[in-house]
């Protein structure tokens, strides 16, 4: 029996198959990679880098058509198609960066996070005929959307970063997926905690605003759109509207803890 979800996916597949674009906007090969190499749930999450290192076929199967996309082809896509494409490209580039240098215990083994030697500024894939880094892809998708939620979809390869989803980002669902990614990160008590009673919050240092660079700090874009990081967090983690208003109006004491840059590897 064909379910409604299967019918929807079939319709979407037919739609994209008959479009002028040769690129698969359902990101089927990335979905296959994620199902094979990403662990999510049951109290653990991570990426099987050793498994990928021994057989990169699924990663290469996704990167080959992605890297073959031309800039003229990309320009003709919708904003949602571009957004999903760039997010998935960033996440694939982050995985490729680690696989190219594996084994590692920490992202910091690849370089410092400031200046030209940042690991995220190391080129790992090609886009529009040029070698690009995860940092360049991050900048490109932020400049496209000006949406701070995107930061929470970009899974930099460390335990302190947002987790890599078990599914690809898709044009038709990307708005919902971004909302979900924000909540998943903020509700992770190893990364963020809010106590309405004591009016305190302990946030990941990724939530800071950084004067030196838009990468990899989330606060810059959050402040531009929502006024403050504290307001952004409270409106998503505090259930009662009255408590939200009280915390926002009366102020909340926010502090930040260091990011855990240990590799998000799992075997």
Lowest mean pLDDT among 58-67, 144-153, 209-218: 209-218
What pLDDT was estimated at residue 13?
A: 52
Prediction pTM value: 0.87
Cα separation, 220 vs 226, in Å, equals: 10
Contact status, residue 221 vs residue 148, Cβ threshold 8 Å: yes
Q: Render pLDDT for 2-15 as a digit per residue (tens, 0 to 9).
A: 455 445 545 555 55
Take residue 2 and report the two structure tokens written for it.
């064909």
Cα separation, 219 vs 230, in Å, equals: 10
Lowest mean pLDDT among 39-43, 131-135, 226-230: 39-43
Name residue, tokens 């319709």: 11
Q: Render pLDDT for 166-197 as a digit per residue (tens, 0 to 9).
A: 999 999 999 999 999 999 999 999 999 988 88
Q: Which of the 8 DSSP states describes residue 217? A: -
What pLDDT was estimated at residue 94?
A: 96
Contact status, residue 58 vs residue 32, Cβ threshold 8 Å: yes
What pLDDT was estimated at residue 20?
A: 44
What pLDDT was estimated at residue 5?
A: 46
């Amino acid at each position: 029996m064909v379910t409604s979800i299967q019918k929807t996916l079939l319709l979407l597949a037919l739609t994209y198959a008959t479009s002028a674009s040769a690129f698969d906007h359902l990101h089927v090969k990335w979905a296959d990679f994620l199902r094979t190499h990403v662990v999510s749930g049951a109290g653990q999450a991570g990426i099987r880098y050793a498994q990928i290192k021994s057989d990169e076929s699924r990663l290469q199967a996704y990167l080959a058509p992605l890297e073959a996309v031309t800039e003229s082809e990309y320009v003709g896509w919708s904003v949602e198609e571009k957004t999903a494409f760039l997010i998935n490209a960033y996440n694939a580039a982050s995985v490729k960066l680690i696989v190219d240098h594996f084994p590692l215990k920490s992202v910091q083994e690849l370089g410092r996070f400031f200046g030209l030697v940042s690991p995220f500024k190391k080129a790992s894939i090609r886009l529009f005929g040029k070698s690009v880094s995860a940092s360049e892809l991050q900048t490109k998708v932020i400049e496209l959307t000006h949406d701070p939620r995107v930061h929470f979809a970009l899974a930099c390869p460390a335990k302190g970063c947002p987790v890599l989803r078990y599914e690809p980002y898709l044009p038709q669902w990307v708005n919902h997926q971004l909302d979900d990614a924000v909540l998943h990160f903020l509700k992770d008590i190893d990364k963020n905690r809010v106590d309405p009673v004591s009016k305190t919050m302990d946030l990941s240092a990724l939530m800071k605003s950084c004067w030196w660079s838009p990468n990899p700090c989330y606060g810059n874009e959050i402040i531009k759109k929502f006024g403050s990081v504290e307001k952004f967090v409270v409106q998503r983690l505090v259930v009662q509207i009255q408590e939200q208003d009280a915390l926002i109006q009366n102020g909340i004491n926010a502090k930040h803890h260091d990011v855990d840059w240990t590799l998000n590897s799992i075997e």
